[in-house]
Structure 1
Amino acid sequence: MSAHFRHIAALGSSFAAGPGIEPLADRAAGRSARNYPHLLAERLDAELTDLTVSGATTETVLDVPQRRMKREFPPQLRGLPAHADLVTITVGGNDLNYAGSMFALGIAGRISSYAWVRPLSRVLPGPQVPNPTPDSVEGAAANLTRVVDAAHGRAPRARILLVDYLTVIGPDTRQSREAPLDEASVDGLRRLGDQVSRVFEIAASRSGAELVRMGERSRGHALGSADPWVTGLPDRLRRLRTLAPFHPNAAGMRAVADAVAEHLEA
C-alpha cells in the first residue's frame, strides 16, 4: 500500500451503509458491519468512523437531521473526526430518488402481475421513473460539492474520495422476476443511474475530490448479468423485512472496497 491510513470516516446513504447485509452494525441506520467502509478499514488496518445512514441525502449529511425508525440522526458531518485521514463519500442518489423509484416501480410491476390486480392496473396510474431537470442535477451536484468542502474544513488533512453508486439497471437488465420492469422503465432507470453518476463527476471536477467511478466499473455487474453486485426484488415480498432490493449485495460491497483500495494504491 503506497500510503498508510490510520482513521477512515465514511459519509453516505444506503449504497454505502449496506442495508440487508448481515450482520447489521446499526439496525436503525440500516448500516451493515460488512459494508464497504468496514471492509476497507479491515483491509487498511485502520480505525473507522462509519456515519452512513440509509435514506440519507446531501442535506442530511450537511445540516439537516434525519429521522429513521424512531431515531434522529444528526447531520453526518457533525460526527466527522478532525483527525480522519481518509473520508469516503457516497451520497446524492436519494436527491434524485434513485433507489426509491426502483423500489416503487419494482413493487408495482410485481403486484400488477397478479391476476386479481390486472384490471385495476389498467385504470389506476402507477409510479413513474423520475426525470430530473438540469436544475435538479445541478442542485444535487452543488450540494455534493458542499459536502466535500465541509469535509475538508472539518478534517483538513484527509484525503477525500467520492465513491459513485453501483449500477443497478445495466445493459443486461431485462424484465424478470427480480426486475419486474417494463422496457420503458428499464430505459428510464438506466438514464437515471447515468444522471446520478453525472452528479459525482460534476462535484469531483468542482471540488477537486478524487472520484472512484463505481457506476462505470459495475455496469457489467447489474441485474441480469452473470455476476450481479446488486440485489433485485426477492421472490417473496415478505422477505422485504430483511432484504434491501435494488441495493449492493455482499459481493458488490467487496467490489467497492477493492476498487477504493486499488485507487489508493495507484
Structure 2
Amino acid sequence: MSRRTNVLACLVTSTLLSLVIAAPAAAAAAAVSDWDYVALGDSYSSGVGASGQTGLCLRSSNAYPGLWNTANSPKTYRSNACSGATTATLRSGQLSGLNAETDLVTLTIGGNDIGFADTVITCTLASDSGCASAVADALVKVRDQLPAKLNATYADIRGKAPNAKVVVLGYPILFDETVANCGVGGMSVTKRKSLNKGAVELNKVIAARSQAAGFTWSSVEDEFAGHGICGTNAWLHGLTVVPPTNSFHPNNAGYRYGYLPALNAALG
C-alpha cells in the first residue's frame, strides 16, 4: 500500500471513529424530547412555597419538576408529587403513572416520615434544649426506621419503572447560622444549628439508600449554601402566616436556582 493510500485510510478511519464517538452524545441530547417524565414525592417536589400552587396537593409549575419540563419539553410530563407525602402514601398513591416506558423519575421523600415539620415547629416554640431533644427524637427515626422505608419505596419505583433514570434529591439546610436574630419567634443560633445538623443526617441516610438502590443522588446543600432562612438572600420561607403551609419551604428562587440546577447536574 502506498504512503498516499495509508494517509487516506487513516483519515477515513479517524472520521468514522469520530462519528461513532459523537453519536451517543448526540443521541442522548436529542432523546430528552422523547422522554416520559414523572415527578414523585412530597411538598418539596410538589412546589409548596412557590407561586401558583393549586389543588389539595399544592402543586405548582414553579417547582423544580415543572421548571425542568418547561425548559426541556419532554414527550410527556406528569407530577404525582403531593404535599404531606410519606414513603407509605407515595407507594400507595403516586406510582400509577410509572411503567416500562417511563424514562425519568424524580423525587424528594423522607422528611415527613420523621416528623420534620413538627420538629421545626417545636423548635420555633421550645427552648434550646427542647429543640435539641426534638431533633434527637427525629434522628432516632432517621437511623432506625427510615432506611427500611426508603428501601421499600425505591424497590417499588424500580419495579414499576424498570428502565427509568431515577434522581433522588435531598433537602436544603434550612437556616443561616451567622446572623444573631432570626424570625418572629427569635429562632436562636443554637436551635438553628440543631435543625441544620438534623437535616445533614437526614440527607446522609437518603443518599446512602438511594445510591444502594442504583439511583442517582443529588444533594442541594451546595446550591442553597448562603441562602438559608434569615440570611440576606434567603431562598426559603421562614415562619409564614399566610399561607402557613409555605413555612420552611423553598420560594421561587429556591426552586429555580437551588433545585433545578441540582437536577440538571444529576442529569449531566
TM-score (norm 1): 0.78
Separation (CA, whole Å) in 2 of partners of 1:174 and 1:188: 15
Look up the SS of the partner of 2:193 in the other structure: helix
Equivalent in the alignment of 1:18 = 47
Name the CA distance, whole Å, in 1 between partners of 2:225 and 2:179. Answer: 10
What secondary structure does 1:8 align onto?
Answer: strand
- Aligned with 1:166 (options 137, 162, 172): 172
- Partner SS for 1:160: strand
**Structure (1 or 2) with the larger CA radius of gyration:** 2
**Alignment RMSD (CA, Å):** 2.5
Specify the code of the residue in structure 1 equivalent to 2:80.
Answer: L
In structure 2, the CA distance between the partners of 1:175 and 1:245, relative to structure 1 (3 Å rule), is: same
Q: In the aligned structure 2, how far is the partner of 1:174 from the partner of 1:163?
A: 30
- The corresponding residue for 1:249 is 251
**How far apart, in 2, do the equivalents of 1:127 and 1:259 lie?**
30
With normalisation by structure 2, the TM-score equals 0.77
| Shift in Å, 1:85 | 0.3
Alignment partner for residue 64 of structure 2, among 14, 29, 36?
36
Asked if structure 2 preserves the Cα contact closer than 8 Å seen for 1:172 and 1:220, the reply is no
**Cα distance in 1 for residues equivalent to 2:69 and 2:190:** 40
* Cα offsets for 1:166-217 (capped at 9, x unmatched): 2212444653225631333222211111122112222123212111111343
In the alignment, does 2:241 pair up with 1:223? Answer: no
The code of the aligned residue for 1:248 comes to: P
| 1:1-266 correspondence to structure 2 within 5 Å | 2-3=28-29, 4-5=31-32, 6-24=35-53, 26-46=54-74, 47-63=76-92, 75-106=93-124, 108=125, 129-131=134-136, 132-134=138-140, 136-172=142-178, 174-177=180-183, 180-234=186-240, 237=241, 239-241=242-244, 244-255=246-257, 256-265=259-268
SS at match of 1:204: helix
Distance 1:126 1:161 in 2: 32
* Whole-angstrom distance in 1 between the partners of 2:141 and 2:173: 23
Contact 1:20 1:30 in 2 (8 A): no
Query: For residue 57 of structure 2, what is the amino acid of its counterpart?
Result: A
Structure 1: runs of 5 or more not aligned: 64-74, 110-120
User: In 2, are the aligned partners of 1:170 and 1:190 still within 8 Å (CA)?
Assistant: no
Shift in CA distance, 213/126, structure 1 to aligned 2, threshold 3 Å: closer
Counterpart residue identity of residue 8, structure 1? Y
Q: Alignment identity in percent?
A: 25
More strand as a share of residues:
1
Measured after TM superposition, the shift of residue 33 of structure 1 is 1.9
